[in-house]
Amino acid sequence: MKKFPKISLLVPAYNEESVIENTLIHLIKDVKYPKKEIIVGVDDGEDKTLEIARRFTKRYRNVSVIYNKVRLGVTGNMNKLLKRARGDIIIKFDADLKFGNPKTALFNIIKYFRDPEVGGIYYTGEIDWKKNSHPFVEKRYWPEIIEERERSINTRAENFLTVLQVQYRKQFFPVKGIISIPIDIHCFRRGIVKNLDHSIVHDDVEFAYQVLKKGYKIELAKDVFVFCPYGSPVKTKHLLQQKIKGNVGWMQSYKRYAYNIPKYFTGVFFTFIKNFYKTRPKDIISFFYWLAVFKISWLFSFSKRYQKPTKVWKRWKRK
């Protein structure tokens, strides 16, 4: 591998007017790396996401935009982005994210791929159970994050679940080879992931499955951190809507990767039990509140679990 292989940062976006500009500025100016390209895939929406993204293409040669005249969804959008990408390493980056360590993140990612057996990486990071937080974020963004996180039981619950999942990944991933990991970015070698199944709501599992299926291994990067500075849904209604969609994705994943999903959730639950004494009382309450929301959304999502791909996808597929 070259000293600095080219990296393609792929950003699928749909109605991301409020965040896309900050994300692109972050990837262009804050994230340091000598050879990177940024490709934004914009699904047809109702706001100015496309207009904002195209402004960057006029100012920066390494930024380009793909416009989809219909809504393809994340997986359909990613399939088009993957065909355009020219980097040796591909990173799928959500439109509302930031690197916690932007100056070193891409350099740290590359060092894992020096091992020819590694086909992909997922990030993890140190967490503080007593503060229900990531020290990485505390250093730079603590005032903003703590204010947003503590203002609602929904944001506290979502943050605590993230802390729980990060801790579980760190402890058990190398041993059990868990692939069903909810994650915000995906990093893999070019050519490994070629065509994502559009009928799958959760692309998290699909990325990892394709890497492992081709004989590569996945590493956890403890020196890479990614977070969403805009927080989780504050209203219970919005959290419930998010979880209904999530449950559809999990059940689709369960049908395809049945051996894996129960192993993952069972492990997360026992990680919580093991670290019960370290957590704040209000975070414990938040966790059980989140479980209640999850169960309710599970019931609401029942009728949607076996829906077929959208008509929009079928029309695009015929073209």
Mean pLDDT of 179-199: 76
Give the pLDDT score at 173: 53
Token pair in block for residue 243: 């979880």
Please tell me the distance from the alpha carbon of residue 229 to that of residue 95, in angstroms, as a whole number.
11
Bridge partners, 187 (sequence order): 91, 121
Give the pLDDT score at 21: 95
Where exactly are the structural domains of the chain?
97-318
More confident residue, 176 or 127: 127
pLDDT tens-digit map of 201-248: 667 777 877 887 888 888 878 788 887 776 555 566 666 766 676 667
* In the block, residue with structure tokens 């505390």: 138
Give the pLDDT score at 7: 97
Give the pLDDT score at 166: 59
Contacts of 143 (CB under 8 A, 6+ apart): none
Mean pLDDT of 49-68: 95
Give the pLDDT score at 310: 41
Mean pLDDT score of the chain: 75
Give the pLDDT score at 215: 86
pLDDT tens-digit map of 73-119: 888 899 999 999 999 999 999 898 888 889 999 999 999 999 999 99
pLDDT tens-digit map of 260-311: 555 666 666 676 677 767 767 777 777 777 778 777 777 776 655 444 444 3
More confident residue, 199 or 285: 285
Q: Is 245 exposed, middle or buried (0-12, 13-18, 19+ CB in 10 A)?
A: middle
Strand order in the sheet with 185-189: 63-68, 36-43, 7-13, 89-93, 185-189, 118-123, 217-221
| HEC string for 132-159 | CECHHHHHHHHHHHHHHHHCCHHHHHHH
